[in-house]
Amino acid sequence: MKKDNLKAIVCQKIDELKPILFQLADYLHAHPELSGQEIQAVEYLKQLLIKFGFNFKPIIEDKFSTAFLATKGTDKDKIKKLAFLTEYDALPDIGHGCGHNLISMMSLGAGISFNQVTDDICKTYIFGCPAEETIGAKLDISDRGFLDDVDCALIIHPDDKTTIGGTSYATHPLEFTFIGKEAHVADPDYHGINALDALVDFYAKFKELKHSFAPNSLVGMIITEGGTAPNIIPAKATMRATIRSTDTAYLEEIMLPQIKSLAKEIAKKYHAKVKMHHYEPLYKDLKNDLKLNDYYRANFAKLGEAYKILPEDYADGSTDVGNVSHVTRTCQPCIGISDKNKELFVHTVEFAIKSNSIYAKEKAIIGAKAMAMTAIDVLLED
């Protein structure tokens, strides 16, 4: 069957699934669950996938009780394996302010419909990826080999505008704790070791150091602990820093060693100690597959969806999809859910409200179609 015919059929299948997909988005939106606690979400997704004949199994259970892999299709030799990535965790207080209810809707819609027209010539993988907002299950899915023999992994993220391209920041947040010795501030004989002085000095020197890093990097810092009372010399002071670059190697091999060396130098200067640990894992930079981007450009155009091409070095956040891109082909276009060209920002109450609108769900149907059509493009590559 010709490619265009397959694409027409898969789009028809998604239209037939629309009531079920809308119900899925509505359910997730009405039952927001925090990272790693997405029990109701996964049960809903499980029942839906089983209904469509997928084999469902939990994965990486030692770390995530809400990660899964659902598969369906042929097991013949030398067939392609295409993956669709779901997300379903929500934000504290805000709910689905990142639109993960729409991501699940798009990925299941695309994955189920794609399987319905390719079941005998391809194997479809649908991954349940919890905790994107915190410790990113896609890191473990990537690191533990689940994607090693997958030809590509597909996902679309909601945003205010439809875009293709760009990248993301690699990020490896780091906590610094300076340890000194307590003393009464008025003690004439014993002055202790002021951990806060050490930390404040480090903060200032760190601000200077960050100006020496490449333009594609950034640093943000907050002091989370600075003592217990003003009349006690602080024995402990803590700072957290988000440290990012659009180049993972530059982050890990240039930025972090210099920052850690500076912290040790300052601690020695004050006769204090410093402890450092990464309080969140490494999210790598996103390496968009350019051919997949081209497929999305053609498919969005065919669906009548206007889009903007982002520069390859443009980044405005971090994602664990970046880690996926270091293992298999992927990209992460965005589908615009803001009508009337109004600005809409993720991780806000306004975005959470919009992610449950009829308009947003209709745009997610377009996203699901573009994703399924792109999967067909990959399937029929030479």
pLDDT tens for 244-288 read 999 999 999 999 999 999 999 999 999 999 999 999 999 999 999
pLDDT value at residue 88: 98
Mean pLDDT across the chain, nearest whole number? 96
Q: Among the listed ranges 16-25, 64-73, 289-298, 312-321, which one has the minimum average pLDDT value? A: 312-321
Which domains are assigned to the chain?
3-168+285-379 (3.40.630.10), 170-277 (3.30.70.360)
pLDDT value at residue 1: 72
Q: Where residue 382 falls among pLDDT bands split at 50, 70, 90?
A: confident
pLDDT value at residue 345: 92
pLDDT value at residue 190: 86
Q: What mean pLDDT do residues 14-33 have?
A: 98
pLDDT value at residue 191: 85
Q: What mean pLDDT do residues 181-206 have?
A: 95
Hey, is 23 helix, strand or coil?
Answer: helix
pLDDT (tens digit per residue) in 310-334: 999 999 889 999 999 999 999 999 9
Report the percentage of the chain scoring pLDDT > 70. 100
pLDDT value at residue 189: 84
Q: Where residue 95 falls among pLDDT bands split at 50, 70, 90?
A: very high
Write the CA distances from 357 to 22, 71, 139, 150, 337, integer angstroms: 10, 30, 31, 34, 9
Number of DSSP helices (H) and strands (E) in the chain, helices first? 11, 15
Q: Where residue 203 falls among pLDDT bands split at 50, 70, 90?
A: very high
Q: What is the DSSP string of 336-382?
A: E--GGG----SSSHHHHHHTTSHHHHHHHHHHHHHHHHHHHHHHT--
Q: Could you tell me which residue, 171 or 190, shows the higher pLDDT?
A: 171
Pairing of strands 170-171, 236-245: antiparallel
pLDDT value at residue 230: 95
- Per-residue buried b or exposed e for 98-117, using 16+ beta carbons within 10 Å of the residue's own CB: bbbbbbbbbbbbbbbbbbbb
pLDDT value at residue 339: 85
Q: What mean pLDDT do residues 86-114 have?
A: 97
Q: How far apart, in whole angstroms, are the C-alpha atoms of residue 27 and residue 356?
A: 10
What values do phi and psi take at 91, rounded to 5? -100, 145
Q: How far apart, in whole angstroms, are the C-alpha atoms of residue 258 and residue 209?
A: 8
| Residue 159 backbone class (left: φ over 0; alpha: ψ -120 to 50; beta: rest) | beta
Hey, is 28 helix, strand or coil?
Answer: helix
pLDDT at 223 over 80: yes
pLDDT (tens digit per residue) in 318-375: 999 999 999 999 999 999 999 876 789 999 999 999 999 999 999 999 999 999 999 9
pLDDT value at residue 199: 98
Name the DSSP class of 156: -
Q: What mean pLDDT do residues 193-213 have?
A: 97
